[in-house]
Amino acid sequence: MKLNRRQFTLGSTSLLLSGLLPLTVKSSTIDNKKNLVVIMLRGAMDGLTAVPYIHDNTLEKVRPDIFVKKLFKLNSDFSLHPKLSGFHNLWKKDQATIIHATNIPYTGRSHFDGQNLMESGGVIPYKTKTGWLGKGIDVAGLDGLSMSLPMPLLLRGKRNQDNFYPSKFSMPSRNLIDILKNHYADEPLLKKSFDKLTSRPLSMTSAPNSKNIKTLARIAGTELKKEYGPRVAVFEIFGFDTHAAQGGADGEHGQKLKILDETFGVLKKQLGKTFDNTLILTLTEFGRTIVQNSGYGTEHGYGTAVLLGGGLLKKSQVFTDWPGIKKKELFEGRDLNSTLDARSIYCSAMSTCFNTDFKLMNKHVFPDKTLINLSNKIFKS
Amino acid sequence: MNKSFFRKVGFGLSVNEKVPENPLDWAIDQISIIPELNWKGPIYSLEEMMNYHAEYNYTDRRVLRQSFKNSRKEYKRAKKLLKYKTGHYYFEPLWMSIRQNEAINGNSPVFHRFLHFWGNHFAIQKKNSMYSYDVGPYHREVITPSMLKNIEDLVYNVTISWAMIHNLDNSKSIGPNSPRAFKNMDRGKSANLNENHGRELLELHTVSPSAGYDQEDVINMSKVMSGWMHRIPKMSSKIHKKEENVPVRFIEEYHDSGPFKILGKKYIESFGTKAAKSMLRKVIKDLVRHPSCIEFISHKLCNHFVTQNPSSEIVNPVINAWKKSEGDLKSIHTEVIKQAYKYSSLRKFQQPETWFIQFIKMGGIKYFPNNFDYDFKTMISREKDQIRRICRNLGQLPFRPLQPNGWSDYEEDWLSPELLFRRIGVLNKIKDKGKFKHIDNEYLNEILKRNFDNSKEIISFLKNISNDETIIALFSSKWMLKT
């Protein structure tokens, strides 16, 4: 594993991998191994910058200084930001889908509450202490490994998942390890973590650092490609909170979309044929206001877009029940509305990738049992 | 004797320190005055930092990007030299060294534990390059002098500080009912509020979501705050070169004239700059007296200093002290200290940096570089960057929380296999560097005598461990990880 600690702490991008222990996996699962890659876009990704509505000039009017003009046209209603050129290539091959005007059912506009719910899948901030992906991994009976220093909420399940991040440190003597094992016996959390630590495979020793997102995506691709390797990878891209200098094509939001696009591109290249059995899914806590502010940025909003890539998609499409962006059609007169609970997408994605019944996943992972199964509409059967 | 108290509210005792006869007096005395700095190395003011950062910003944005627009390679080289010249890699390790030096060698470790707490409560995110310049001076010049005042002063001073105004974008906010908004309207330009700072003031810094505020409250809070900004002056090219690196001031032209309604209370602004300027203070005064604010921060203090998820039995005395003193910080801190002493048998998982400082101090480990002078021409040495690198490896760079709500204070967020490994791994590496050689049995006994009530139990735990791993075992023990 070549992962870079700096990428994580600097807050630009990080990679987490959820692994699979071969012994816990049925052979049928391995025969049909499907990968799920989740990319968390922290700071509130603006769906209308990534995938602008171009049916009329409403958006251009309210965003005179940040509306991007040279776009990839997707259909008569929507275009794609020019920094998403790799994603556009996937689109041309029927391997890209955009689900627009969607969000988790949260309208409070706080990053912290929003990100908490985006990861937990709950409806009340901080109430749920586990993540929807961690719970989904539990339901599917998989073991997880997170490639990061702090354990992300998204991957926390009932069972304490392992985590790993390369370093040049080494363990003390066997004697001290045994003594500490006994010593931690009456501290449940400490004991659990130490037991996980001391039962690590040899491969998790030291590893050299690497510094950029492309390397991280390459490593993820290599691992996901392995028959007995991990089947879930999670990336984080920070910095979508563009209250100022959001863009144009080369603005801050565009730069972040470019990182996202590179992640898609490297994964596609590295996965090779395995890309056909892979789904890449973006998450963000909410969208941004329709109108630009005086700093040429946008404020916290509500509805946004989810970008999906990979061979598990049925076809390229913008899937939406479009609510409109005229003043009266906006949420609270300012934000793109959400017409689809994004958790329906998450649940359908896990159901498809983990070969698990949608209803079972819904019941055990999300508190709302009325989510819609989108599998037939979005994914290959 | 409750010796864990010295670690609960401080960083433990070094072998050069006597065990205080009266621990409560020892601790309370320390939070009763603003301590002199023990640090003898270089130190820079916020004003100096603004100049360094202004030079960095201006030269990069206006000079280098133009001069090297045809050569990315040349541009990168020039930018690297600019970074050296403006101390880009130097200041964060310097601030961390000053911070940790005061904790380890200063006379008021308890004061500094509280400073660390408030610095994390009013966290500055790594949002752009400025954090590495301004967080140290922000802690020293804004938070520290406020710590003997009222919580109202602390919140107010933080709210209008350069660091927070910049961090939460308040300079981008224009009150919809302000002269500037009307001017913009005449010119066909928009003028909107930036709600970031207003929201965090309510959510993270004062009342918390438990107060039940809504979007209207956030908008009204942002209106009250409009006008507090570091506006780029346009009067002369010399000042213009400073770009946004100018002190925060209140500019009435951008201020919304109200009326405002926050958490059910109406605020009507009378005419004039003075009234407009004082409106923020009025609102903050009410916020810090709101029951949700008192409960939220009292709970957070007890959660940090006493035990995770403290019971109301522990938190209520702090709430009462807050109410009785109307928010006097010394009274609040004193009550937290008393609760930490009373409940010192309850253990609390220590954040990585706190635990590490305790290890350095109690173990008498040689840690700081010989000097911190810098030539502003080259990359800083690995020796000077060591403190920052260790904290990074432990998973907690104190000045770079990933979110504006600071670093977590919950065991679940810190107890993972990798984070546990990092602590043991760092100890192991320091052992390999031969830095435990001064710790013989006698020295070890001095550490135990000063810092633990259960010395016999610890000695029994250490008896089957080889001499060279004794210190690793002691500082990896549950008694150190959870104090």
Q: Is the pLDDT of residue A129 over 90?
A: no
Burial class (CB in 10 A: 0-12, 13-18, 19+), B353: buried
Domain residue spans of chain A? 5-167+207-378, 170-205
* Confidence (pLDDT) at B408: 86
Q: In 3-state terms, what secondary structure has residue A100?
A: strand
Burial class (CB in 10 A: 0-12, 13-18, 19+), B171: buried
Q: Identify which has the larger pLDDT, B320 or A228.
A: B320
Distance (Å, whole) CA B202 – CA B207:
5
CB contact under 8 A, A109 and B417: no
From residue B390, alpha-carbon distances to A29, A362, B96, B255 in Å are 42, 43, 11, 45
Q: Which fold has domain A5-167+207-378?
A: Alkaline Phosphatase, subunit A (3.40.720)
Percent of chain A with pLDDT over 90: 57
Nearest CA in chain A to B199: A110
Q: Is the pLDDT of residue A6 over 60?
A: no
CB contact under 8 A, B415 and A193: yes
* Confidence (pLDDT) at A150: 65
Distance (Å, whole) CA A15 – CA A7:
9
Distance (Å, whole) CA A343 – CA B267:
41
* Confidence (pLDDT) at A29: 44
Distance (Å, whole) CA B255 – CA B273:
10
Percent of chain B with pLDDT over 90: 78
Q: Chain B contacts of A146, Cβ < 8 Å?
A: 416
Picking from A170, A200, A177, the residue whose alpha carbon sits closest to that of residue B466 is: A177
Q: Of all helices (H) and strands (E), which one includes residue A266?
A: helix A252-271
Distance (Å, whole) CA A226 – CA A277:
12
Instruction: Please tell me if residue B345 touches chain A, with a CB cutoff of 8 Å.
Output: no
- The answer to whether the predicted template modeling score (pTM) of the entire model surpasses 0.90 is no
Query: Model ipTM?
Result: 0.91
Average pLDDT over residues A115-144: 85
Least Cα separation, residue B413 to chain A (angstroms): 6
Model confidence over A289-341: pLDDT tens digits? 999 987 678 999 999 999 999 999 999 999 999 999 999 999 999 999 999 99
DSSP assignments along A26-92, one per residue: -HHHHHT--EEEEEEETT---HHHHS-B-SSSHHHHH-TTT---S-EE-SSSBEE-TT-HHHHHHHH
Picking from A281, A340, A249, A322, the residue whose alpha carbon sits closest to that of residue A76 is: A322
Per DSSP (E only), the strands in chain A are 13-18, 35-41, 72-73, 79-80, 96-103, 145-146, 162-163, 232-237, 278-284, 304-309, 317-319, 340-341
Reported confidence tier of residue B465, pLDDT bands at 50, 70, 90: very high
CA atoms within 13 A on the CB side of B95: 26
Model confidence over B14-47: pLDDT tens digits? 999 999 999 999 999 999 999 999 999 999 999 9
* Confidence (pLDDT) at A153: 84
CB contact under 8 A, A150 and B465: no
Model confidence over A22-51: pLDDT tens digits? 222 333 345 578 999 999 999 999 999 999
CA atoms within 13 A on the CB side of B413: 13
Domain residue spans of chain B? 164-287, 352-481
Q: Chain B contacts of A187, Cβ < 8 Å?
A: 478, 482
CB contact under 8 A, A112 and B404: yes
Reported confidence tier of residue A177, pLDDT bands at 50, 70, 90: very high
Picking from B278, B474, B454, B355, the residue whose alpha carbon sits closest to that of residue B8 is: B355
* Confidence (pLDDT) at A1: 30
Reported confidence tier of residue B223, pLDDT bands at 50, 70, 90: very high
Distance (Å, whole) CA A303 – CA A334:
11
Asked if residue A357 lies in contact with residue A364, where contact means CB atoms within 8 angstroms, the answer is no
Instruction: Please tell me if residue B186 touches chain A, with a CB cutoff of 8 Å.
Output: no
Amino acid, res. B111: F
- Among the partner-chain residues B195, B420, B469, the one whose CB lies closest to the CB of A172 is B469
What are the helix (H) ranges across B201-290?
Answer: 215-225, 237-240, 273-287
